[in-house]
């Protein structure tokens, strides 16, 4: 991207119970010119989503209090305009794939690769642009 080029603003909520992963994702996303907020679990994420405006939620699957699959199912019902990406450090089960396929834009294995994060951000920016054009 040429220096000084405009980047579409995007607001991302990172949801993970591991501080190292939250901080890693925050640094990657800030480098990609995203506004970033974080939550430690699905319950905290729900509170933030109700009060804030996010374009994308990147969530871990396995967390205490509320897991990521429950969070993205809730997002799909209450905030369908928010994109979701899930990540996990565990093997993906058929149930996870079914939920991910219905409710999430994509998924990746932790630790996340910067290229995959960049692609997810680009897809979200493209969706936002297409909504503005309609």
Token pair, residue 69, equals 């699959």
Q: What is 11-133's CATH number?
A: 3.40.50.2300
Strand partners, 87: 60, 108
Could you state, in order of their start, the residue ranges of all structural domains in the chain?
11-133
- pTM attached to this predicted model: 0.85
Banded model confidence at residue 30, pLDDT cuts 50, 70, 90: very high
- Residue 9's pLDDT is 79
Report the alpha-carbon distance of residue 110 to residue 123 in Å, rounded: 20
The chain-wide mean pLDDT, for the chain, equals 84
Q: pLDDT-derived band of residue 49, with 50, 70 and 90 as boundaries?
A: very high
Residues whose CB falls within 8 Å of the CB of residue 35, separated by 6 or more in sequence, listed in order: 9, 10, 11, 12
């Amino acid at each position: 991207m040429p220096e000084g080029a405009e980047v579409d603003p995007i607001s991302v909520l990172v949801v993970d119970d591991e501080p190292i992963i939250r901080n890693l994702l925050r640094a990657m996303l800030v480098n990609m010119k995203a506004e970033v907020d974080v939550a430690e679990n699905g319950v905290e994420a729900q509170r933030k989503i109700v009060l804030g405006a996010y374009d994308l939620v990147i969530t871990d699957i396995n967390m205490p209090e509320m897991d990521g699959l429950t969070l993205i199912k809730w997002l799909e019902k209450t905030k369908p305009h928010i994109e979701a990406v899930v990540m996990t450090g565990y093997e993906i089960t058929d149930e996870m794939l079914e939920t991910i396929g219905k409710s999430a834009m994509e998924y990746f294995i932790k630790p996340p690769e910067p290229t995959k994060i960049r692609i997810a951000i680009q897809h979200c920016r493209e969706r936002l642009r297409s909504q503005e054009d309609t």
